[in-house]
Structure 1
Amino acid sequence: MSNIKQKIEAIMRDEGNTRFLSFESFLFVISLLYWGIIKLRNFLYKKEILKSGRLPCKVISVGNVTVGGTGKTPMTIYMTELLNRLGYKVVILSRGYKGGAEKTGGIVSDGRTIFMEPDMAGDEPFMLAEKLKNTPVIVGKNRLEAGMLAVEKFKPDIIVLDDAFQHLKLARDINLVLLDSHRPFGNTHILPRGTLREPLSALLRGDAFILTRSDSPPLNPYDLPGLPFSRTDLIGNKPVFRSFHVPYICNVVRQNPVASGYPVSVSYDAEFLKNRNVFAFSGIAKNDDFQRTLEAFGCRITGFLKFPDHYQYSDNDLSEIFHSTQELNADAIITTEKDYVRLVRRITWPIDLVVISIKISFGDDDDAFTRFIAQSLY
């Protein structure tokens, strides 16, 4: 089963032509059926045959049109902090993907106390609750019901939806669409032949577009010959902003903080990893990007285990990580913050664990983006 899944994932990211009577052609046929279902669903919502519920507060959606890896959760954090600076009271709604409360819904945090562990909340909502101490976080597959709970319990000025561009059941006031500047539309095929969640015509619902990972030239000039980008027939005059992923060390879990001579809580800069032998692991949408991030820190990667996105680590997985660390003579283990929250209460690390997180920066577009949000909410 895992081999088939890996083959499908490779095809989804393949930019070659679909060969006749191949596995690619089989997936292409399924994608056509899926395309038809999505087009019908979107049409029914557009004609208001299916109704979108509206909440008595402003709603901002942070989403994308491809599967995983555009930086929705860091952008949700950025948006929440921006709205707080503008004086708004915010609640975050997330689906809680693969969490125990995904179907039933529930309050992860009231902004003071966290009530759910990662296995119930889902890794990303739990991370949001950990990082945004003054902002309630609610999960639930039905965002309208979750939104009604948010209004009842917390009376927010604004609700921020994490990864909800496709969730048309809840109306929103601002649709922010994130596009990876390297490959904004994947290979342009719909799931499962490609990584598009919807036909590109769905971009018409967007109110603003954010090009993420804009710190280096795009990998595919055909998709992004220049800025803002091609497909202007779908974007029109809507604003496009450039943003950047800024990696940083958010935590170092010391094996023995007293013996090492370092305090338990300390700020670490990028130099902390330079020339160190590290063993890395991650279970995110774009593990290769994480590996490139580590290389930019200047550390020596002795080994790297890559797992699927939202991966639930078993005891055997952790044993393999520890064994590989010892065998390869690494002096630190390194992983992502998203992976760390799934493991933080499960184990004691045999050597130092370095946790990497991502911040969003708009660089020169910061003032323009802030003005856009402030004016759109006025």
Structure 2
Amino acid sequence: MSLAQFIQDAWNKQAGWLIVLRPLSWLYRGGFLLNRKLYEMDVKQAYTAPVPVMVIGNITVGGSGKTPLLIQLVTYLLRHHVKVGVISRGYGGKGPFPAFVGLDALPETVGDEPCLIVQSTGVPMAVGSNRQKSIELLLEKYELDLIISDDGLQHHALNRQIEWIVLDNNRGLGNGKILPEGYLREPPSRLEGATVIEHAAEPESELYMHLEVAEPYLLNAMDGRVFNPEADFYAVAGIGFPQRFYATLESMGIHHFQCHEFPDHYEYEIADFQFDDANPVITTEKDAVKILPLLKQNPAFNREIWVVPVEAVLSEACYLKLHQQLQESGIQIS
């Protein structure tokens, strides 16, 4: 188990020994608050884009359902004739940055989540740590009404008109502590007065979402193979909160699987799928965008790899809120 996985497991279990990391949390919090104050005092200059910017992020480390939510919003906006573009850090990609993300982009170059977003929506997208340069790159090529930033909630160098914070109620706020004692990037008070989208099966507010699962599909073309939920699977996940994926499998009636967890944004090798038997693999769409190039490079590989697609379903109140906030930013949805 890697150090990152060890810490993640401790966060999920709210292990008592994490208290020894509290001095580091104080340092992290102090540095974060100082940086934010410097922007508030205009000591550091934040960039204001020529079009409205919407940030979709979270205050926790690890998966919250943010990417499916973003994909659903982009699909909705494009269907309603809003010219939208997306930017992202491109975490896990090697660049060079900033870079456009096309349908043929590779996860090793631009990151796994950007590849999934573009393959799912066809939206214009650019990635790189410098959000200003990514926006400028997009606007050089496209006439856009709105920029959506995938993550970047804590990136104070970018001004924004709209912020949505996704909060996964399955994880909650953990022990309520800042990194690294807990998995919070910001204190819980950050949620006060914010537009918080609950990721929950039984939400407590009007603004909520859940993930709807579709029929698994086979990533590698193998004639005559039919999905069998009774099979013994290797459940492979390199995501921020793999426990949600395992719970999804259980909800689908898939009960026989061995968990194989990798760090978030992990760069797979074909050896990661070599097991002692011929049992199939089942994985997430985010992982699939990194596995597919490996299959193309290794045509002799013949183990079934099944992918579980999910779609974010938003409450009606979310769309009403979106319309209101876009209208306040000067964007009309037809």
Please, what TM-score do these two structures have when normalized by structure 1? 0.79
Structure 1, unmatched stretches of 5+, are 18-22, 218-226, 229-239, 263-271
Compared CA separation, residues 5 and 115, structure 1 to 2 (3 A): closer
The answer as to 2:80 corresponding to 1:86 is: yes
Compared CA separation, residues 208 and 116, structure 1 to 2 (3 A): same
Show the counterpart of 2:162.
Answer: 174
Superposed CA offset, 1:257-280 (max 9, x none): 1xx188xxxxxxxxx544343332
Structure 2, unmatched stretches of 5+, are none
2:238 corresponds, among 258, 263, 283, to: 283
Match of 2:138, SS state, is: helix
Match of 1:310, SS state, is: coil
Amino acid at match of 1:284: I
Amino acid at match of 1:319: Q
Q: Is the 8 A contact 2:219 2:292 kept in 1?
A: no
Amino acid at match of 1:9: Q
2:213 corresponds, among 218, 243, 247, to: 247
My pick for the range that moved more, 180-189 or 118-127, is: 180-189
1:328-367 equivalence runs, <5 A: 330=279, 332-347=280-295, 348=299, 349-365=301-317, 367=319
Compared CA separation, residues 359 and 261, structure 1 to 2 (3 A): closer
Counterpart Cα distance in 2 of 1:261 and 1:151: 45
Amino acid at match of 2:312: I
Compared CA separation, residues 87 and 373, structure 1 to 2 (3 A): farther
Q: Is the 8 A contact 1:92 1:159 kept in 2?
A: yes
Counterpart Cα distance in 2 of 1:9 and 1:251: 29
Counterpart Cα distance in 1 of 2:185 and 2:145: 30
Q: Is the 8 A contact 1:255 1:351 kept in 2?
A: no
Show the counterpart of 1:298.
Answer: 253
Counterpart Cα distance in 1 of 2:117 and 2:98: 16
Show the counterpart of 2:34.
Answer: 40
Deviation at 1:345, TM superposition (A): 1.8
Show the counterpart of 1:256.
Answer: 222
1:105 corresponds, among 85, 98, 103, to: 98
Superposed CA offset, 1:17-74 (max 9, x none): 5xxxxx5333111011111000111112222222211111111110010102111111
My pick for the range that moved more, 139-148 or 340-349, is: 340-349
Show the counterpart of 2:173.
Answer: 185
Please, what TM-score do these two structures have when normalized by structure 2? 0.89
Amino acid at match of 1:124: E
Superposed CA offset, 1:231-277 (max 9, x none): xxxxxxxxx601111122363235531xx188xxxxxxxxx544343
Amino acid at match of 1:106: A
Work out the percentage of aligned pairs sharing the same amino acid: 30
1:118-133 equivalence runs, <5 A: 118-133=107-122
Q: Which has the higher contact order (CA 8 A, sep 6+)?
A: 2
Deviation at 1:168, TM superposition (A): 1.2
Larger Rg: 1
Q: Is the 8 A contact 2:207 2:315 kept in 1?
A: no
Question: What is the Cα-based RMSD across aligned positions, in Å?
Answer: 2.3
The answer as to 2:198 corresponding to 1:211 is: yes
1:200 corresponds, among 171, 184, 188, to: 188
Q: Is the 8 A contact 1:39 1:199 kept in 2?
A: no
Q: Is the 8 A contact 1:174 1:207 kept in 2?
A: no
Amino acid at match of 1:245: L
Counterpart Cα distance in 2 of 1:373 and 1:276: 47
Superposed CA offset, 1:352-378 (max 9, x none): 321112211124535534433443443
Question: How many matched pairs?
Answer: 326
